[in-house]
């Protein structure tokens, strides 16, 4: 009985969390969203930006579409990391929050998600591969402890919820 309740709760969380996030994000002004995303990416990619590893993005942009929360933006470089609303990027990565979180936490391989059609890449695939390789090189241990802990805890929770849903 407790397992059945846990399965129903897991299904509700996986169903309603993106809907609530989508509604919340819809009321946040675009400028504020872009500022927050810029700050987060500068924190996560500080080492890559400072070492020049992202130079291949100069005058190019990568679109990110997080489908289940209806969030789209593009990232590029022009002497610094630039985040803007999605317009005409060279390559677009599309996925839902759970898949992106599992990739960031190192719990899921992007290639596996691509072949399962849970991660889509459209446009300049060579640029997409360069971006994927940079993302895979990010060490979570190099991130501030609160970010590292939050990503790992969320990924563990997501794996638990997903396995409970699949086994139910």
pLDDT digits (tens, 9 = 90+) for 3-59: 555 556 555 555 566 666 667 777 888 899 999 999 888 888 888 888 899 999 998
**pLDDT value at 167 more than 60:** no
pLDDT digits (tens, 9 = 90+) for 85-143: 999 999 999 999 888 888 878 888 888 988 999 999 999 999 999 998 888 877 777 67
More confident residue, 168 or 65: 65
Please say whether the beta carbons of 54 and 48 come within 8 A.
Answer: yes
Helix H segments across the chain?
A: 2-26, 30-44, 46-51, 97-104, 110-115, 125-137, 145-166
């Amino acid at each position: 009985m407790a397992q059945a309740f846990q399965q129903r709760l897991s299904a509700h969380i996986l169903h309603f969390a993106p809907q609530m996030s989508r509604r919340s994000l819809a009321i946040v002004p675009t400028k504020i969203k872009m500022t927050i995303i810029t700050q987060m990416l500068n924190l996560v990619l500080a080492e890559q930006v400072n070492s020049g590893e992202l130079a291949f993005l100069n005058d190019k942009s990568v679109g990110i579409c997080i489908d289940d929360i209806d969030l789209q933006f593009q990232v590029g470089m022009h002497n610094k990391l630039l985040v803007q609303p999605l317009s005409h990027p060279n390559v677009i990565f599309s996925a839902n929050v759970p898949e992106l979180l599992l990739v960031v936490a190192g719990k899921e391989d992007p290639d596996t998600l691509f072949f399962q059609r849970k991660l889509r890449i459209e446009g300049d695939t060579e640029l997409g591969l360069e971006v994927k390789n940079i993302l895979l090189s990010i060490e979570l241990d190099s991130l501030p402890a609160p970010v590292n802990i939050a990503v790992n805890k969320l990924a563990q929770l997501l794996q638990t919820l997903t396995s409970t849903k699949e086994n139910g």
